[in-house]
A and B are shown apart, each in its own frame.
Chain A
Amino acid sequence: MSIHIHNVSKKYGSFQALEDISVDIQSGELVALLGPSGSGKTSLLRVIAGLESSDVGEILFDGQSMTERHPKERNVGFVFQHYALFRHMTVFDNVAYGLKVRPRKTRPSKQDIKTKVMELLQLVKLENFANRYPTQLSGGQRQRVALARALAVEPKVLLLDEPFGALDAKVRKELRRWLRKLHDEFHITSIFVTHDQEEALDVADRIVVMNNGKIEQIGSPDEVYTNPKSPFVYDFLGNVNLFKGRLANGKLMHGEFALDVPDSHTHTDDNAIGYVRPHDIHIEKTNMPGTVPAKISHIHLLGPIVQIELRREDLDEFLEAELTKEQFFQLQLTIGDQVYIKPKQLKVFIPEDYSI
């Protein structure tokens, strides 16, 4: 089922939670709503589910307006942040709930409910836990029960609010890969909310980056990562070094750097900031044209990658670079070494207000 979100706005008192949000989601897509806390991503998810109403705007499922529909009529599966399992019911009863509360006409028989629930429990690998209560399960198991419960009503749309937020790193990674697989098998249009950029990049078909109730960028994971449309997206989707300088004649002037700006749209003498990812900083041991000298102040070995903190000699500013272990050992770097650096690629934004 395709979802169209059309000019949705919502205010809580004087706080603008959502401002003129429009997104089109194709049938069968897995979309991540990514943003910091307070960016409106959960509010948007709740508006789609009907748990919250929007002040303005429309939500369409397959072209049909859902704006006035009660959440129970929207056929949406919602997985809550803290799972919201019914604490007085067993795992089996939790999963069966959506089928048991149907009006008599559409309610499956007891036997059918049982078959269906056991099928779902098998899918989430919890068939041996049917008689446990939620308090007797681990976080990852509860999460899977919540998912099975949402899937039991055969929703056309699956909405997940910070689905892996409360889990430890290893379980989180496992579960999100598993969710991706599940999504590919079931082809339910799914939207999940996250503040973890890695999670969004790893799992989603498309990412909607949100900030302050507005959409910053919509695109594929690769698009938003390599071609961010705004400084915020650049900053939020990974570490970044800022080169605050001036634009002149298609070059960004910053200390001794005169960096070519690829699609320079201005020739005026403008303030500008260059954004460079740590892994786009090139390190040489010999002085080459276009590089500036820097001193290594810290080295962090983080498994397969090596983070290097550098102090630029020309400006007395700190930079962060990332190398693979292989590159690191080839260069034979140690703390205090004099090296020469240049950015392999950078993106320039002209700040609207240079007071940052």
Chain B
Amino acid sequence: MEQSIALSKSAALQEPRIIRYLLTFIALAFLAFFIVLPLVSIFVTAFQKGVEVYFAAITHPDALAAIKLTLIVVAIAVPLNAIFGVMAAWALTKFNFKGKNLLLTIVDLPFAVSPVIAGLIFILLFGSQGLFGDWLFAHDIKIVFALPGIVLATIFVTLPFVARELIPLMQTQGTSEEEASISLGASGFKTFWYVTLPNIKWGLFYGLILCNARAIGEFGAVSVVSGHIRGMTNTMPLHIEILYNEYQFSAAFAVASLMSVMAILTLIIKDIIAWKSKSV
């Protein structure tokens, strides 16, 4: 009885078979053309001139320097964003204060601003003609066209990832568990450590993974502030662009393939986390 009702209902709610197959085919064809094909072509082009050229390209000192720089930037920017993101989400969801909506908007700002403009902001602030330019020059501090500038630009661009991931999560969780913790005599820090953090850990990881992917791949903002000094201030995306502009296609695609592998790994980790967080 129950089953027959369920069956008739599902039949009524389903499209004819032809339409279902057609829609699936269109979706798959679209994905194949726009995502799978380019990805495959990266690897094909990378290995076009042989494995030796491939390894020569990714072990070239400039390439290694670019990889190292990228990893350093990620190692600084991602943890800082984790701290900021958790603090911002905590403040925005667990407390009521004036200017809350303004802060919420500011957290989103980097999503709205073009990365190139984000880069330019730091040139205008710290460049030689910039607001703090003279002071920085007098004290011999280099920010623009050096590591600090690249890190700043990356932090700016990836700022919303962690906070955006946590705010809806913490909003649905509410504050009653924190209140329970405090009424049981726990301090603010213990409440955060034992109650809030375990509840948001999967969301936090997820945000960090997205933040990490963007930090590795960021081009626009970093391009403006880096100065493109080979072996010094080139991150991986910038290195690829230079190689490409010099018609070293195989080398460019070799480094690009490395980045693609990183991206795919990130996605796999992201899926594992999403699956884990659902099962807990």
Measured CB to CB, the residues of A under 8 A from B are 49-51, 70-72, 75-78, 80, 82, 84-88, 97-98, 101-102, 149-150, 152-153
Q: Give a binary string over B174-195; 1 marks a CB under 8 Å from any A CB, 0 the rest.
A: 0011011111111100100011
Given contacts A72-B187, A97-B194, contact A84 B182 (CB under 8 A): no
Q: Which residues of chain A are within 8 angstroms of B186 by Cβ–Cβ distance?
A: 72, 97-98, 101
Q: List 27 A-B contacts (CB under 8 A).
A: A49-B183, A50-B183, A51-B179, A71-B179, A71-B183, A72-B182, A72-B183, A72-B184, A72-B185, A75-B185, A77-B183, A78-B180, A78-B183, A80-B180, A82-B176, A84-B177, A86-B195, A88-B198, A88-B280, A97-B194, A98-B184, A101-B185, A101-B194, A149-B180, A149-B184, A150-B183, A150-B184
B182 and A86: CB pair below 8 A? no
Which of B183, B195, B199 makes the CB contact (< 8 A) with A76?
Answer: B183
Bound CA–CA A75/B184 (angstroms): 8
Contact: B194 with A84, CB < 8 Å?
A: no
Q: Which residues of B contact A (CB under 8 A)?
A: 176-177, 179-187, 190, 194-195, 198-199, 280
Residue among B187, B194, B199 facing the most chain A CB atoms (10 A cut-off) = B194
Question: Which residue among B176, B179, B180, B195 has the maximum number of chain A CB atoms within 10 Å of its CB?
Answer: B180
Most A CB atoms within 10 A — which of B187, B195, B198, B280?
B195
Q: Are B177 and A97 in contact (CB under 8 A)?
A: no
- Cross-chain pair count, CB within 8 angstroms: 63
A49 vs B184: C-alpha distance when bound (angstroms): 11
Contacts of B177 in A (CB 8 A): 84-87
Least CB separation from A79: chain B residue: B180
Known: A72-B186, A72-B187, A87-B199. A97 touches B181 (CB 8 A): yes
Contacts of A150 in B (CB 8 A): 183-184
Q: What distance in Å separates the Cβ of B196 from its nearest Cβ neighbour in chain A?
A: 10
Sample of 20 further A-B pairs with CB below 8 A, known A101-B186, A101-B194:
A71-B179, A72-B183, A72-B184, A72-B185, A72-B187, A75-B185, A78-B179, A80-B176, A82-B176, A86-B177, A86-B195, A87-B177, A87-B199, A88-B198, A88-B199, A97-B184, A97-B194, A101-B185, A149-B180, A153-B185
User: Min CB distance, B106 to chain A, in Å?
Assistant: 25
Question: Bound complex: CA of A50 vs CA of B179, how far in Å?
Answer: 10
CB of A101 within 8 A of CB of B190, answer yes
Nearest Cβ on chain B to A107's Cβ, whole angstroms: 11
Name the residue on B nearest A103 (C-beta): B187
Contact A80 B184 (CB under 8 A): no
Most B CB contacts (10 A, CB to CB) among A77, A82, A98 go to: A98
Q: Taking each of B180, B182, B183, B194, which has the highest tally of chain A beta carbons within 10 Å of its own beta carbon?
A: B183
